[in-house]
Structure 1
């Protein structure tokens, strides 16, 4: 009998996962929580029906090992891709501000009719991005090696 995969099993291997249902998306959201990205790293390609973000993801799968071994917490650049996108709307931030850095809190699924629905990217500071999709298809792929988190701290949302 085999054991379930654990966060600790990832070690230095790059993450490459997809979400095709609400349960998958919960896992992907947990791994992308507290990612930061400049507003300039958002890309909406209507002809390809694709929305993508280049994010600096906190490596939640490694934080316990970092604490145990006394090494810095890590971040990694990752690409978050949402496919089958029919439309994009945003609120709570100025997309025209090239110096704006956003923080991703959660990725959620709001089902509609048939396979359609909305992918909601909730941002810190009451911002949000709503993607109308024909079907849920979200991918998260690490594209660089991990690096020491500049703050040297684990994100903290307070109690």
Structure 2
């Protein structure tokens, strides 16, 4: 069996920009259940950027995969936060190269004058807080989709 190709479904890689809370909701939905090694986080203070290289579940394709009875997919993506002044973490150990992070949610806590705090919540009670001047987030697919190793859609019991 070979990996899926963009040409198979006519899909194009995602490149989304979030500049407000509504936009962020879309990015949050598309990155829910993304997984990545803890070592794939980067904080560049001089550039005021925080980035994750993650393997996101292709929620935008999950229903099509189900109706066509084909395996679900993941794609490697960059999730980039600009205008970041400070990064804090709790329960996140980047030094353990074997730690795999699972992103549960992105949320925005508005402050004064458009500034605020971006909260990234991970499975296992880890969290990262980014103090930002504004919502300025980019989600960009950087590889072709590939078959999800588990071949299953992530499930959240209610």
Q: TM-score, normalised by structure 2?
A: 0.92
Change (3 A) 1:28 1:11: farther
CA offsets per residue over residues 71-118 of structure 1, 9 Å max, x none?
110000000000000010011222221111100011111011101111
4+ long deviations beyond 6 Å: none
Once the 2 structures are TM-superposed, how far is the Cα of residue 39 of structure 1 from its aligned partner? 0.6
**1:17 and 1:140 in contact (8 A); partners too:** yes
Residue of structure 2 equivalent to 1:5: none
Q: State the SS of the aligned residue for 2:152.
A: coil
Residue of structure 1 equivalent to 2:145: 146
Residue of structure 2 equivalent to 1:68: 67
Residue of structure 2 equivalent to 1:128: 127
Residue of structure 2 equivalent to 1:3: none
Q: State the SS of the aligned residue for 1:48.
A: coil
Gaps of 5+ in 2: 1-8
Residue of structure 2 equivalent to 1:38: 37
Mapped partners of 1:123, 1:22: distance in 2:
20
Residue of structure 1 equivalent to 2:83: 84
**1:11 and 1:62 in contact (8 A); partners too:** no
Once the 2 structures are TM-superposed, how far is the Cα of residue 11 of structure 1 from its aligned partner? 5.2
Residue of structure 2 equivalent to 1:112: 111
**Would you tell me which structure has more helix in proportion to its own residues?**
1
Change (3 A) 1:110 1:11: farther
Gaps of 5+ in 1: 1-9
What is the CA RMSD across the aligned residues, in angstroms? Answer: 1.1
Residue of structure 1 equivalent to 2:6: none
